[in-house]
């Protein structure tokens, strides 16, 4: 299931630059984090810069202006925006039970999960969004540099993520639920709400956290713990099979903690690519002739409007959680087969990605070149959609 996300956004030059960089010069490029895989290699987690892509810069509306310019260095930005809760020394728990940012296991996989947490926030918790697209004061570049600084300060120098960074963790859901209640609920809450009866813990049931954190990030946290905090290393208490089951159980809660059993969507077939084929057309109002908001898309879906909705992220991300009705379309797939099933009769085609717009932008640009007029990009991207509390589903990609 570790696949690549966009049907057309190959960005081969960026990929080759990434693969040829020496370890000491590896850069996780900010802004448009993207997972890239080639058929001849293992999965590579690449982050492609908004500054590198002229397409994204040319077509991305400017976010709201901050009330004042942020400080110029990552350390100064951290002290201004983060230290109040996470502590001046990054040890955490200064206010609102904000976690320590000094732990190596926090950055062991990549800076991406922490970048997403800072950019989009964790709705339903005291962690608000700091990314400019979400009304925050910091640009994607600002937050990227801060995450890299935090990683180095925690003792984890920048480097390539492991080859299995996107692999799903498989386990027994029923066993995982029992193990969670026995070992985790006292701190993380019986329903993943956080702040359990014995100690403060991360809200593991938070939809945005689950939607933007790969399975391996969760497994590393459980296995290695968070040194210097009350979160122990369960590798000394549970078997790997047990930890896998807890991880799989947490993933199954991505569409809601109170569901009796996780319901896994199968991707729509190419023959059924049009949502609500008998519905009326959406009444989208495009920003800069291209973008729609999460509110517009949610309203159109709720009203049963006719459209094609494509998810240009890695199919594994689609399986983690996605906008219901979307079709996962990786760029390496057979484009002609996909295009032959999209009606070019005025049916709206909406694309979204995680970056938050780069892959979807490229997909829509290609569709417009081919004569598809009614096309749009979800401006906030998938993480922005979840951060605003709109509904998601869990999927399964074979």
Q: What is the pLDDT of residues 213-263, one digit of tens each?
A: 899 999 999 999 998 888 999 999 999 999 999 999 999 887 677 655 545
pLDDT at position 216 is 94
Assess whether pLDDT exceeds 60 at residue 129: yes
Assess whether pLDDT exceeds 70 at residue 389: yes
pLDDT at position 264 is 55
Assess whether pLDDT exceeds 60 at residue 368: yes
Q: What is the pLDDT of residues 319-339, one digit of tens each?
A: 778 898 998 876 545 567 777
Q: What CATH architecture does domain 12-153 belong to?
A: Orthogonal Bundle (1.10)
Q: Which residues in the chain are classed under CATH 3.40.250.10?
A: 264-395
pLDDT at position 248 is 94
Using CA atoms, how far apart are residues 51 and 204, in angstroms rounded to an integer? 33
Using CA atoms, how far apart are residues 87 and 203, in angstroms rounded to an integer? 19
Task: Report the b/e string of 351-378 with b at 16+ CB within 10 A.
Answer: bbbbbbbbbbbbbbbbbeeeebebbbbb
Angle, in degrees to the nearest 10, between helices 140-153 and 112-120: 130
Query: Within a 13 Å sphere around the CA of 154, how many CA atoms are in the beta-carbon half?
Result: 26
What is the band of 61 on the pLDDT scale with cuts at 50, 70, 90?
Answer: very low
What is the band of 281 on the pLDDT scale with cuts at 50, 70, 90?
Answer: very high
Pairing of β 264-265 and β 291-292: unpaired
- The verdict on pTM exceeding 0.85 is no
CATH topology of domain 173-252: Cytochrome Bc1 Complex; Chain D, domain 2 (1.10.760)
Using CA atoms, how far apart are residues 379 and 35, in angstroms rounded to an integer? 19
pLDDT at position 268 is 72
Q: Which of 1-10, 41-50, 158-167, 215-224 has the highest mean pLDDT?
A: 215-224
Answer left, alpha or beta for residue 362, where phi above 0 means left and psi between -120 and 50 means alpha.
Answer: alpha
Q: Which residues in the chain are classed under CATH 1.10.760.10?
A: 12-153, 173-252
Assess whether pLDDT exceeds 70 at residue 382: yes
What is the band of 395 on the pLDDT scale with cuts at 50, 70, 90?
Answer: low
Q: What CATH architecture does domain 264-395 belong to?
A: 3-Layer(aba) Sandwich (3.40)
Using CA atoms, how far apart are residues 191 and 90, in angstroms rounded to an integer? 28
């Amino acid at each position: 299931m570790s696949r690549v996300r966009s049907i057309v956004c190959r960005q081969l030059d960026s990929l080759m630059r990434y693969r040829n960089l020496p370890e000491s010069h590896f850069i996780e490029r900010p802004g448009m984090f993207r997972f890239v895989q080639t058929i001849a290699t293992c999965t590579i987690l690449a982050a492609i810069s908004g500054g590198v892509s002229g397409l994204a810069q040319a077509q991305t509306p400017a976010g709201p202006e901050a009330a004042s310019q942020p400080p110029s260095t990552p350390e100064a930005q951290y002290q201004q925006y983060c230290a109040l809760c996470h502590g001046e020394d990054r040890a955490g728990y200064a206010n609102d039970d904000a976690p320590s940012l000094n732990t190596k296991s926090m950055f062991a996989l990549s800076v991406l999960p922490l970048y997403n947490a800072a950019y989009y926030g964790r709705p339903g918790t005291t962690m608000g969004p700091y990314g400019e697209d979400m009304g925050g004061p910091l640009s994607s570049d600002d937050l990227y540099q801060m995450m890299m600084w935090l990683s180095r300060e925690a003792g984890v120098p920048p480097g390539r993520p492991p080859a299995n960074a996107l692999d799903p963790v498989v386990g027994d859901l029923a066993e995982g639920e029992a193990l969670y209640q026995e070992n985790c609920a006292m701190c993380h809450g019986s329903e993943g709400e956080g702040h359990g009866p014995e100690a403060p813990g991360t809200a593991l049931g938070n939809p945005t956290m689950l939607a933007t954190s790969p399975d391996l990030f969760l497994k590393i946290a459980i296995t290695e713990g968070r040194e210097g905090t009350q979160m122990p290393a369960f590798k000394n208490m549970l078997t790997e099979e047990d930890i896998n089951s807890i991880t799989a159980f947490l993933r199954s809660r991505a569409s809601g903690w109170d569901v009796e059993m996780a319901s896994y969507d199968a991707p729509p077939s190419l023959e059924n690519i049009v949502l609500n084929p008998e519905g009326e057309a959406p009444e989208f109002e495009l920003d800069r002739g291209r973008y729609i908001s999460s509110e517009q898309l949610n309203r159109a879906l709720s009203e049963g409007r006719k459209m094609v909705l494509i998810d240009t992220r890695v199919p594994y991300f689609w399986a983690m959680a996605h906008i219901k009705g979307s079709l996962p379309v990786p760029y390496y797939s057979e484009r002609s087969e996909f295009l032959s099933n999209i009606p070019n009769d005025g049916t709206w085609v909406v694309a979204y990605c995680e970056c938050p717009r780069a892959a979807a932008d490229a997909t829509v640009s290609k569709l417009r070149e081919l004569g598809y007029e009614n096309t749009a990009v979800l401006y906030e991207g998938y993480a922005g959609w979840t951060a605003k509390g709109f509904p998601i589903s869990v999927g399964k990609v074979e």
